[in-house]
Structure formats: structure tokens, C-alpha cells
Chains A and B, each alone.
Chain A
Amino acid sequence: MLTIKNLHVTVEDKEILNGLDLEVKPGEVHAIMGPNGSGKSTLANVLAGRDDYEITEGNIEYLGKDLTEMPPEVRACEGIFLAFQYPVEIPGVNNSYMLKAALNAIRSYRGESSLDAVEFLNLIREKMKLINIREDLLNRSVNEGFSGGEKKRNEIFQMAVLEPKLAILDETDSGLDIDALKTVAEGVNSLRSSDRAIIIVTHYQRLLNFIIPDQVHVLSNGRIVKSGDRDLALQLEDKGYEWLSGEADAA
């Protein structure tokens, strides 16, 4: 589904990713872990199409298409979804209007008809139950005045409505208390399916207690230095990222 080869990315002339490789297949859940500044969030944003990140080398192929020159909205229409680490507050833009516009844009791209008000309402009611989000949040401006937990839950709710093929969760666990973490994880788990891949970007492994990944990758200095199964995440928690810096140097 997603093949990243030798990816080099610079942000404001500073190289953040240097030679990253990653292969994600449908149905898989991958965790990208790493210390602060290792390039995790850069990877998430590059996949979503942020344009102040410059790809200097390498390529990203998604469902057989070159992703590097694709505008963010086309990526979204092609099924990529980024759950933001810091969801943006957009005063004056109603959450459910935004979501309806988004859903219908994606549907129209796929050649499907737009949902009318009633169909849309039925859909979001169904997804609301799934993610356990309060209805009043939907009728407010996007993320405005939401608590940290509400913002993260809203991201997962949007993901549930838009039903992406590839979801990237950027530090979705940060700032969540344990109850919120569990609800968000339940939401994500309910969206796991054989044709949907999920990339979880996280500093800590605790989210991985609730969303069991198929593969864990450790990112350090802009490249993946180690990959393994979920045990790798547990080891990391035990030994810290320092443990891997040595191995990376040796490699």
C-alpha cells in the first residue's frame, strides 16, 4: 500500500529525514517510535502533504501512485488521513459543516453522490456512538475551546467518518489521561480492517498496550534504525532510546 524508499526531507534547510525506508501493507498497523527530534512528526506531515517540507531525495509510492507531488486534498481523497498531534482550532468554521464538506469532497472524487443533510446526520450519529464523542462538540467551531482530550477524540471521530485507507496518528496519545487513551484506542481498534493500514507515531509505548501493532520501527536521526514486533516497543520502554543509539552507530 505504502512504499517509502530512501526518503530525504529538509525543513528550513535542515535535513530531518535522511534515507528512510518503510513498507506498509493493507490491514497492518505500524508503530513509529523514537526520541524527540528524530523526525517522527515530519514523516507524518510529509505523508499528509505539508508543503513547507521539502523532499530532496527518494520517493513515496501509495497505491501505485507517486505521492510526492500530490496536493494534500487529493491525498485525502485517495484515502490518506492524518490525525494531528496538535489539531488546529478554526474559529467560525463549524465542525460538522467542515466534516460534511470533507466527506462530500472525497465522495465526489470517488464518483459517489453527495450525502444530503439527513444521510449525513445518520452517518455521524452512528460514528458518534462508535467514538463516544459529545454531540455539542460537533456543532461548535472546529476544535475551538476543546480540551486536549476532546481534540484528539475529534480527530479519531473524523477518521471514523472519512474512513481512510491509510490513517496516520501523530502522537495521538500525548496529553491524554488513561481513560481518554482507552476510548481513543477503542475507537481506533474498531476501525482496524483488512483493507485499512494505520501508522501510529508515538514517543511512548503505552498506546501500544491498547492498539497492538504488527510492526514497530524505531526512528533515530531521520532514519529507521530498528524494526521488530511489539516486543521491541516493550524493550524500548525498559531500556530507553539510549539503548539503540549505540546499535545505530554500530550499523
Chain B
Amino acid sequence: MSENAVQYYRSAFERLDKQAVLPWFADERESAIRQLEETGFPTIRQENWKYTDVRPIIKRQFNPDQTGTRPGSDELAEVRFENLDCYELVFVNGQLSPSGDRKFPQGVVIDSLAASGDRHAEVLNRHLGRYSGKNEGAFPALNTAFFRDGALLILPDNMKLDKPVCLIYFSTDSDSRIASHPHNLIVLGKNASAAVIEYYVGKGENDYLTNTVTEVITDDASHLTHYKIQQEGKKGFHIGNLVTRQEKDSRIDSHSISLGGRLVRNDIVANLAAEGSGIRLNGLYLASGRQHVDNHTLVNHLKPHTWSDEIYRGVMNDHGRAVFNGKVIVHKNAQQSDAQQSNANLLLSDNAEADTKPELEIYADDVKCSHGATVGKLDEGMMFYLRTRGIDEETARSFLIYAFAEDVINKIDISPVKERLESLIIGRLPEAEKIREFSE
């Protein structure tokens, strides 16, 4: 099946107009599709994909060259975060959607990669596809070969962005099996800081694929707060790769919230490439119905005095299934590094499932590392306590599930984003209305 799919993508690639977007990148695209031909798509025989079978994606032969229709303005209004003052780019099925009002601060690049890439060729040459390209697996290779657009964010040294950047990736309803492959590049100069929200959202009842790549480079002492909110449609497939490379004393706070989609895989590869750099990885995933959500994180402690602090939580209901794999590698000379990781999974039904695997590889001898992973049901002692106070069983359950998820949501400090997420999470609880009343 994989061979057929590879042939399918090769012929689609032949039809692709490689000169339309970043023509100088065409060779890189060609070598990415060749890489895909060599390796094929992953199978469950590969350790990294043991619990996530991507055959439903590869057998569907998504169309990388379909653009679909534009969403209506009320559809977009619904998607936007209420009361969020931000710099916004909207991508529809992977391509920038023109919008009238775009005032960005002087010296900052917040633009479409396709439209502005040639003007910033020097930065792109240095970074594009260097961290998550053809060698990082079939899906990043597919993205490299096919991406038509994405966001380009370049912050000069010392620039502190006053408002968050909100990137909305909207997949419209279409029966032509659209695949979008957004490719984003975020480059923070020395001592710069920014908050970036990537919001993937899909509507409708049809199959589609989002295969996204985001590359992040943070120079000395810069600070990026990154949000990825995945709320694909019921039949959406989502594969996401976030790869970061951090210079001295830079910091990233990553929030990855996975709510939608039928088959979802989020990969984060964090490279702590210079002393004093650190990353906080904060994650929440919900899976109900027959949703499958897989989160893989890899933190490379490459230099001394680097730190990572990871907390992922998941709530699975019905036949929902989750996979968590958190790998931390403390390389040989990364002395006095500090790596903390925890993953907790809450199973709400007998048919829900979670496979969690923390992996620590430590090649340095003077480090502080800890990890823990749990899979469990709601605590009966807590349930009984709440019920003895007069709170009915469903409401008590909702209280406890919400509290479990809230721990992650509380770390989000952009209020409109936090409120949207709270509302979305509450909406999935058995006694939504009662909880809404108390969370206000």
C-alpha cells in the first residue's frame, strides 16, 4: 500500500508547479520526494509508529494541489478568538487568505512564506527545511515536497512583540480530499520575544489531511511562547511537526492542545543547542468517539546547563485512544542539565486506551532527571467525597475531569485563548452547563 501511495505522490509531484512558490527551493523538494521514495511511509513495525497506524491516511491519496473554497466571513468570525488583539494571518487549506487590514510593527516580518520568502532569501537559505526536512521522516518530507505556503515570522534582535501572532489554519469542507502542507518558519533574534498561536481548525464532514511543519530558531536570550491548538474536523487527519533549535539562554514555552481530528500525530523535537537554553512543554489531549491522538516529544539536551520541563495530560473517553512518547536525551557533554517529565492519562471508559512511554537516555553523569507516567481512572475516593456533599455522579465526574485538564490550561496566559479552551473542554464534559456555571 505504501508503494502505491509513494507512486501516487510522485506523480502528483510531477504535476506540481515547482516554480510557483520559492523556485530556488525546487531541488530541495525533488530530493524530499526522492527521500520519501526510498523510505516509504511509516508502519507499525517501526518503534516510533508502533501504536499509530497511518494506513488510513496513505490509502486515501489526498490531493496536494486542491485549494478548495474560501470560508465565509461569519465562519471565520466564529473561529477567531474572541477579544484577542493580535497580528493575524489566515491560511485556508494551506494558502494565505488575503485580508485587508495588516499592519505589523516596523522591522518585524509576519507574512506568508510564499509571498515574502524571496525577499528574505538569506534567512530562508539558512533555516528553511534545515531542522524538519526530508530526513525527519515521511511526513516532513511530504511537507517539504508539497508545501505551498505557511507563515514566516522574523523578529530582529531586541524586538519584543507587543501582541501575539495568531495563525489560523482553516480547512474548509470539500469532497475533493484536500491535503494542506503548511510550512512555518519562526526566527527570533537575540533577546527578542514573541507569542505565536497556531490554530488548526476544520469544518465539515469530509476527509482531509493537514500535514504541518513548524521550524523555530531562537537566538540568544530570546523567548518564544508557542501555542498549537489542534481542533480539526471530525474526519480530519492531522500530522504536525514542531522542531526547535535554541541558542544560549533562550527559552520556549510550548503549549500543545489537541482536541479534534480522527487520527492525530503531534511530534515535537526540541534541540537545546546552547548553554542555559530551556523549554517547557505543556500538553493536553482529549480523545473520544473513535479518535486517536499520538504525541511524541523528543528533547535533546546537547549542551551543559540546559533544562526541560514537560507536563502532558490526556483524557480519553468512549473508544478514544492516546499515545504518549516522551524521549529525553542528555548528551555526553550536557552536564548539569535538568530534565523533568510527567504524563498522566485519565480513562473514562473501559474501551478507552492510553499507551505511555517515557524514555530517558542519559550520557552525562552530573544531571538531574525525573519522569513519571500514569494511566488511571477517576479517583473513587474523590467521587465519593463530592457525592456525600450532594453533588450527583455526573457532575462530580465533570468536576474531576475538568480539574485534571485545568492544570494544563491554567498555564496558558493569553486569556482569550484560555477562555476558548476552557469552553471547548467544558463542552465535552457530561454536565457541561453546571461546570460552566462554576468556572465563571
Chain A residues engaging chain B, CB cutoff 8 angstroms: 48-52, 71-73, 75-77, 80-82, 84, 87-88, 90-94, 97-103, 105-106, 109, 141-142, 158, 162
Contact of A162 with B385 in the complex, beta carbons under 8 Å:
no
B binding-site residues for A, Cβ under 8 Å: 379-382, 384-393, 395-396, 399-400, 402-404, 406-407, 434, 438-439
21 interchain pairs (CB within 8 A)? A48-B388, A49-B388, A71-B387, A71-B393, A72-B388, A73-B387, A73-B388, A73-B389, A75-B388, A80-B388, A88-B382, A88-B385, A92-B407, A93-B399, A93-B400, A101-B389, A101-B434, A101-B438, A105-B390, A105-B395, A162-B389
Distance of B282 from chain A, by nearest CB (Å): 15
Q: Are A82 and B388 in contact (CB under 8 A)?
A: yes
Is the Cβ of A77 less than 8 Å from the Cβ of B390? yes
Distance between Cα atoms of A97 and B392 in the complex (Å): 15
How far is B403's CA from A105's CA once the two chains are assembled, in angstroms? 19
- Whether A101 contacts B391 in the complex (CB less than 8 A), given A87-B385, A88-B381, comes out as yes
Chain B residue numbers with a CB within 8 Å of A49 are: 387-388
A50 to B402, CA, bound (A): 23
Pair A92/B387 contact, Cβ less than 8 Å: no
Pairwise interchain contact B438-A76, C-beta atoms closer than 8 A: no
The answer to whether A90 and B386 touch (CB under 8 A), given A73-B392, A98-B391, A98-B399, is yes
Query: Which residue, B395, B404, B434, B438, has most C-beta atoms of chain A within 10 A?
Result: B438
Given contacts A90-B400, A92-B406, A92-B407, contact A73 B385 (CB under 8 A): no
Give the distance in Å from the alpha carbon of A50 to the alpha carbon of B385 in the complex: 9
Q: Across the interface, which residues of B come within 8 angstroms of A142, CB to CB?
A: 385
The complex places the Cα of A92 from the Cα of B284 at a distance, in Å, of 15
Q: Is the CB of B399 within 8 A of A72?
A: no
Indicate which residue in A52, A75, A84, A92 contacts B403 across the interface (CB closer than 8 Å). Answer: A92
Q: Is A99 in contact with B389, judged by CB distance below 8 angstroms? A: yes
A106 contacts across to B, CB distance below 8 A = 390
State in angstroms the CA–CA spacing of A81 and B388 once bound together. Answer: 7
- Contact between B395 and A72, CB atoms less than 8 A apart: no
**Chain B residues with CB under 8 A of A100:** 438
| Contact, CB under 8 Å: A91 / B403 | yes
**B379 neighbours in A (Cβ, 8 Å):** 88
Is the beta-carbon distance between A50 and B399 smaller than 8 angstroms? no
Chain A residues with CB under 8 A of B399: 90, 93, 98, 101
What B residues does A75 contact at CB under 8 A?
388
| Contact B406–A102 (Cβ < 8 Å) | no
Cβ of B164 to closest chain A Cβ, rounded Å: 26
Given contacts A76-B388, A90-B385, A92-B406, 13 further A-B contacts (CB under 8 A): A71-B393, A73-B393, A75-B388, A76-B387, A90-B382, A93-B386, A93-B399, A101-B399, A101-B434, A102-B386, A103-B390, A158-B389, A162-B390
Quick one: closest B residue to A82, CB to CB?
B388
Q: Say whether A102 contacts B389, CB under 8 Å.
A: yes
Give the residue name and chain of the A residue nearest to B385 (CB).
A88
* Smallest beta-carbon distance A234→chain B, Å: 32
**How many Å from the CB of B412 to the closest CB on chain A?**
15
For B385, list chain A residues within 8 Å (CB): 84, 87-88, 90, 142
Contact A73 B403, beta carbon cutoff 8 Å: no
Given A71-B393, A101-B438: A92 and B402 within 8 A (CB)? yes
Q: Could you say which residues of chain B place their CB within 8 Å of the CB of A91?
A: 403, 407
